[in-house]
């Protein structure tokens, strides 16, 4: 048997010091840290946590069309530094990703700018132009490499069209990701509807704008016996519906984002456009419900909903500001805050950011079993960093974390056994 | 009192003592408005830009007159004649104006938070002349001043009812804050479709029946109903609104003797208020307009002389005296 190509020595995996042996892009085995081997490249982990490469199933990389906000190169760079080995890129580009040409363009750009990864998996539009009138050519999109379909950003209002989309997608073996939002109830909202929107004089989005669509999707999924994945869940009412649906055996899965687990509508005080996100940040009670749902598996996965915007777009009054928080750079640190607060365990992180999204979207996942893809990160949870425009790799500096000190840094990242970076000073 | 605020954005930033100080100043300035020659040199050399992105007649005129009576140079700018129309954003428009070195910028804007947005970016004083549904602090101050001229400054024991479209009213939000700060009990009355989210957590009693709401009140503030609320599906029609929430004599018969009637204007007679009530003896509606000029004179004085007083204090290195508006020694110019 040939020797390993790469040995990552002295890293913590499930509280044990190990070394990771990698051969031809896959995991060969986890070995004792000092097991001698003279072959292959040696990378010294310095006791950092060994984690699988993360999968972010919901990002907006803005290219083509909005490269001033982000392009595939900068988005993937932020993903790499943030610990993500794969991202699912939504279709609300310009042109919309509703044709094989756009899908291929995105994949080609990713391969050209980041040949070693992270991997970009396009999500195809559910309807042409995302306008919710006609189905997009889903088969063509699947053939071109889309791994799921979604009208994220412009949810499909028609239950009939949405039903047909679910049915058509199921023939292709791909999941529909729904942005659950009633467009009428949510129209013109800048934040959560509640005490603070009333005081600030801002139009609020009621939680039922989300939960009504969650209920619709669940009922359709049960009726059709088809899977549905619910994007960026933000409120208790939705969680309770999903819990009920799962108990009935409905094939529903759901995601939420770190910002819904950490922050509330209070963040919007002072008309803070950096905290303007859709769905909006909700209340303490919603945060509690979501935290519990994540721990219990009612919410299946975490995503960033990475939504970069240019500074000048957020430097406007609240109503004019676009929705979105830039999330790829900060997601793991924010998740680690949840670990520190006892909300999640490190094992939960691996499940929420890797194993489960991989299973949901049929992507290869590293569980550190022999033969698994050697996508891994080394994470130093004790290393703190201050979020500034300069420390963010994304072009989007639009995060409420600006100026905050966050715990944990990715000190090395490998994909398919190739080292993307190794920050020796930080390990 | 050394005026501590750079900007006037919302009533929440003012203490009760500061509100009453504005009233005292307004009382002094009101006298100027009754003189044959209504101009004093107090703010000579100061410049005020009236930046009214949202159309306004009375507030803009009121600020304009207030500034001119104190000899400030006022410059009016509307959205239709500004670079906003050419696609310039609010920040750049404001920075451009600031480069012309005004002492204050009075902003009316259709978006909540627009004044706060500018105040964070401009070194000159920003006075909020109404931002979206959020706040209209100068209207609240003039409303409070108008009532204080009748009741005195202590409003404890008084009950003020605000009736109408509370959800979309910056006047309602600011009035609630001001009246409660001065010790009054506040009630609001509106159909549920015109109540803001979270109103149950406001320091007010909430009514949907106007007759009930009027029982035992000392003043009623009627709010203008924007006619587009019907198109937005918040009301069946104006006739029904007028029948249910239009203030009439039958409602006021339940109020305390001497009940006062107010309206920030512009009025839809016969919709939110019975036409005759608007002209009745207990109507303060025109008093509010007069009080508006005096209150805004007081505010311009406080904000425009604040820096001068601070600078003098710095030079002397001691406590600055309260900037008194020189009345009765205010000189006619």
> pLDDT, tens digit, for every residue of A127-181?
999 999 999 999 999 999 999 999 999 999 999 999 999 999 999 999 999 999 9
Q: Does A367 touch chain B (CB under 8 A)?
A: no
Q: Does A312 touch chain B (CB under 8 A)?
A: yes
Is the pLDDT score of A427 beyond 60? no
CB contact under 8 A, A317 and B173: no
CA distance A198 to chain B (A): 5
Chain B, nearest residue to A187 by Cα: B232
Neighbour count for residue B262 (Cβ, 10 Å): 23
CB contact under 8 A, A317 and B114: yes
Report pLDDT for A83.
98
Candidates A286, A280, A224; CA nearest to A251 is A224
Active-site residue among A305, A375, A382, A425? A305
For B310, the 3-state DSSP assignment is helix
Contacts of A201 in chain B (CB under 8 A): 112-113, 131-135, 170, 173, 196
Of A194, A317, A319, the CB nearest to B198: A194
Contacts of A198 in chain B (CB under 8 A): 167, 196-199, 202
For B259, the 3-state DSSP assignment is coil
Report pLDDT for B318.
36
Report pLDDT for B60.
96
Contacts of A193 in chain B (CB under 8 A): 197
Burial class (CB in 10 A: 0-12, 13-18, 19+), A248: exposed
Q: Does A280 touch chain B (CB under 8 A)?
A: no
Q: How far apart are CA A86 and CA A364, in angstroms?
A: 10
Of A193, A312, A320, the CB nearest to B111: A320
Report pLDDT for B229.
84
Task: Name the band, by pLDDT with cuts 50, 70 and 90, for residue A38.
Answer: confident
CB contact under 8 A, A202 and B112: yes
Chain B, nearest residue to A195 by Cα: B198
CB contact under 8 A, B117 and A271: yes
CA distance B167 to chain A (A): 7
Report pLDDT for B55.
86
Burial class (CB in 10 A: 0-12, 13-18, 19+), B92: middle
Report pLDDT for A37.
82
CA distance B309 to chain A (A): 29
Contacts of A195 in chain B (CB under 8 A): 197-198, 201
CB contact under 8 A, A201 and B114: no
Q: Residue B172, Cα to own-chain centre: how many angstroms?
A: 10
Contacts of A282 in chain B (CB under 8 A): none
Query: Does the annotation mark A305 as catalytic?
Result: yes
Say what the ipTM of the complex is.
0.89
Both tokens assigned to A282 = 């909700």
- The answer to whether A323 touches A268, Cβ cutoff 8 Å, is no
Q: Does A72 touch chain B (CB under 8 A)?
A: no
Q: Does B155 touch chain A (CB under 8 A)?
A: no
- The answer to whether A364 touches A52, Cβ cutoff 8 Å, is no
Report pLDDT for B311.
64
CA distance A70 to chain B (A): 22
Give the mean model confidence (pLDDT) for residues A116-126: 97
Mutate to test the interface with B, among A185, A188, A191, A198 (most CBs of B within 10 A): A198
* φ/ψ (deg, to 5) at B14: -100, 140
Query: Between A and B, how many CB-CB pairs are < 8 A?
Result: 65
CB contact under 8 A, B111 and A198: no
Q: Does A311 touch chain B (CB under 8 A)?
A: no
Q: How far apart are CA A225 and CA B138, in angstroms?
A: 60
Report pLDDT for A287.
98
Output DSSP code: residue B89: -
Chain B, nearest residue to A196 by Cα: B198
For B223, the 3-state DSSP assignment is coil
Q: How far apart are CA B148 and CA B154, in angstroms?
A: 8
Give the mean model confidence (pLDDT) for residues A194-210: 97
The DSSP-derived string for B142-199 is HHHHHHHHHH-S--TT-EEEEES--TT-HHHHHHHHHHHHTT-EEEEE--GGGSPTTG
Of B90, B167, B197, the CB nearest to A317: B90
Of A198, A204, A320, the CB nearest to B199: A198
Q: Does A195 touch chain B (CB under 8 A)?
A: yes
Tens-level pLDDT at each residue, chain B (333 residues): 789 999 999 999 999 999 999 999 999 999 999 999 999 999 999 999 999 998 888 999 999 999 999 999 999 987 666 666 667 789 998 888 899 999 999 999 999 999 999 999 999 999 999 999 999 999 999 999 999 999 999 999 999 999 999 999 999 999 999 999 999 999 999 999 999 999 999 999 999 999 999 999 999 999 999 888 877 889 998 899 999 999 999 999 999 999 999 999 889 999 999 999 999 999 999 999 999 999 999 999 999 998 776 666 544 433 333 334 443 333 333
Both tokens assigned to A375 = 């996508």
Tell me what percent of the residues of chain A surpass a pLDDT of 90. Answer: 96
Q: Does A184 touch chain B (CB under 8 A)?
A: no
Q: Does B34 touch chain A (CB under 8 A)?
A: no
CB contact under 8 A, B198 and A198: yes
CB contact under 8 A, A317 and B201: no
Task: Give me the residues of B, 80-139, that contact A with CB < 8 A.
Answer: 89-91, 109, 111-114, 116-117, 131-135
Q: Scan for tokens 């359709």, then name that residue.
A: A220
Report pLDDT for B83.
65
pTM here?
A: 0.93
Give the mean model confidence (pLDDT) for residues A67-95: 98
CB contact under 8 A, A199 and B198: yes
CA distance A157 to chain B (A): 20
Q: Does A202 touch chain B (CB under 8 A)?
A: yes
Of B117, B132, B202, the CB nearest to A201: B132
Q: Scan for tokens 């009016």, then name that residue.
A: B76
Report pLDDT for B85.
65
Q: How far apart are CA A60 and CA A63, in angstroms?
A: 8
Candidates A166, A285, A279; CA nearest to A233 is A279
């Amino acid at each position: 048997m040939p020797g390993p190509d790469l040995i990552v020595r002295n890293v913590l995996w499930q509280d044990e010091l190990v070394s990771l042996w990698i051969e031809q892009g896959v995991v060969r085995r986890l070995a004792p840290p000092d097991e001698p081997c003279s072959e292959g490249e040696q990378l010294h982990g310095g006791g950092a946590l060994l984690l699988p490469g993360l999968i972010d199933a919901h990002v907006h990389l803005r290219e083509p069309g909005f490269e001033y906000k982000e392009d595939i190169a900068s988005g993937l760079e932020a993903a790499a530094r943030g610990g993500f080995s794969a991202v699912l890129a939504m279709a609300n580009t310009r042109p919309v990703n509703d044709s094989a040409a756009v899908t291929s363009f995105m994949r080609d750009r990713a391969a050209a700018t980041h040949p070693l990864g992270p991997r970009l998996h396009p999500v195809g539009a559910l309807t042409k132009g995302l306008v919710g009138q006609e189905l997009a050519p889903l088969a063509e999109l699947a053939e071109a490499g889309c791994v799921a379909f979604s009208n994220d950003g412009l949810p499909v209002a028609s239950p009939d069209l949405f039903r047909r989309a679910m049915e058509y997608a199921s023939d292709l073996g791909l999941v529909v990701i729904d942005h659950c939002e009633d467009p009428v109830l949510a129209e013109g909202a800048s934040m959560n509807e509640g005490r603070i929107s009333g005081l600030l004089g801002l139009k609020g989005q009621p939680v039922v704008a989300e939960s009504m669509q969650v209920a619709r999707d669940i009922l359709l999924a049960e009726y059709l016996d088809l899977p549905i994945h619910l994007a960026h869940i933000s409120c208790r009412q939705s969680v309770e519906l999903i819990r009920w649906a799962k108990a009935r055996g409905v094939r529903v899965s759901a995601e939420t984002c770190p910002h819904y687990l950490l922050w509330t509508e209070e963040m919007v005080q002072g008309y803070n456009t950096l905290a303007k996100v859709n769905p909006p940040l909700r209340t303490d009670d919603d945060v509690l419900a979501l935290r519990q749902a994540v721990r219990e598996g009612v919410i299946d996965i975490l995503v960033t909903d990475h939504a970069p915007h240019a500074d000048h777009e957020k430097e406007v009054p609240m109503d004019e500001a676009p929705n979105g928080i830039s999330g790829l750079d900060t997601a793991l640190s924010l998740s680690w805050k949840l670990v520190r607060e006892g909300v999640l365990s490190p094992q939960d992180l691996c499940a929420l950011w890797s194993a489960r999204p991989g299973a949901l979207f049929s992507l290869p996942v590293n569980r550190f079993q022999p033969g698994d893809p050697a996508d891994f990160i080394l994470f130093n949870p004790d290393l703190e960093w201050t979020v500034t425009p300069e420390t963010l790799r994304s072009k989007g500096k639009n995060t409420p974390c600006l100026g905050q000190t966050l715990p944990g840094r990715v000190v090395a990242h490998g994909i398919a056994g190739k080292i993307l970076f190794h920050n020796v000073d930080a390990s | 009192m050394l005026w501590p605020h750079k900007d006037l954005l919302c009533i929440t930033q003012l203490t009760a003592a500061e509100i009453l100080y504005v009233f005292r100043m307004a009382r002094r300035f009101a006298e100027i408005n009754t003189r044959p020659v209504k101009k004093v040199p107090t703010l000579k050399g100061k410049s005020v830009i009236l930046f009214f992105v949202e159309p306004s007649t009375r507030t803009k005129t009121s600020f304009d007159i207030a500034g001119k009576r104190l000899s400030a140079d006022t410059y009016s700018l509307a959205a239709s004649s500004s670079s906003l129309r050419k696609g310039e954003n609010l920040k750049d428009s404001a920075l451009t104006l600031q480069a012309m070195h005004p002492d204050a910028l009075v902003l009316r804007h259709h978006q909540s938070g627009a004044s706060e947005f500018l105040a964070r970016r401009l070194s000159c004083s920003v006075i909020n002349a109404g931002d979206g549904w959020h706040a209209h602090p100068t209207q609240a101050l003039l409303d409070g001043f108008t009532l204080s001229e009748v009741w005195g400054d202590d409003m404890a024991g008084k009950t003020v009812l605000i009736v109408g479209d509370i959800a979309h009213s910056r006047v309602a939000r600011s009035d609630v804050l001001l009246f409660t700060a001065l010790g009054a009990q506040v009630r609001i009355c509106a159909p549920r479709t015109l109540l803001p989210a979270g109103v149950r957590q406001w320091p007010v009693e909430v009514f949907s029946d106007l007759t009930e709401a009027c029982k035992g009140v000392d003043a009623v503030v009627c709010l203008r109903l924007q006619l587009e609320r019907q198109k937005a599906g918040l009301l069946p029609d104006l006739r029904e609104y007028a029948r249910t929430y239009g203030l009439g004599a039958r409602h006021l018969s339940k109020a305390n003797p001497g009940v006062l009637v107010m309206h920030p204007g512009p009025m839809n007679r016969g919709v939110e208020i019975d036409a005759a009530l608007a002209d009745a003896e207990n109507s303060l509606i025109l008093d509010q307009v007069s009080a508006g000029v005096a209150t805004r004179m007081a505010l311009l004085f406080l904000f425009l002389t604040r820096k001068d007083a601070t600078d003098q204090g710095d030079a002397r290195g001691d406590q600055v005296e309260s900037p008194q508006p020189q009345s009765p020694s205010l000189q006619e110019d």
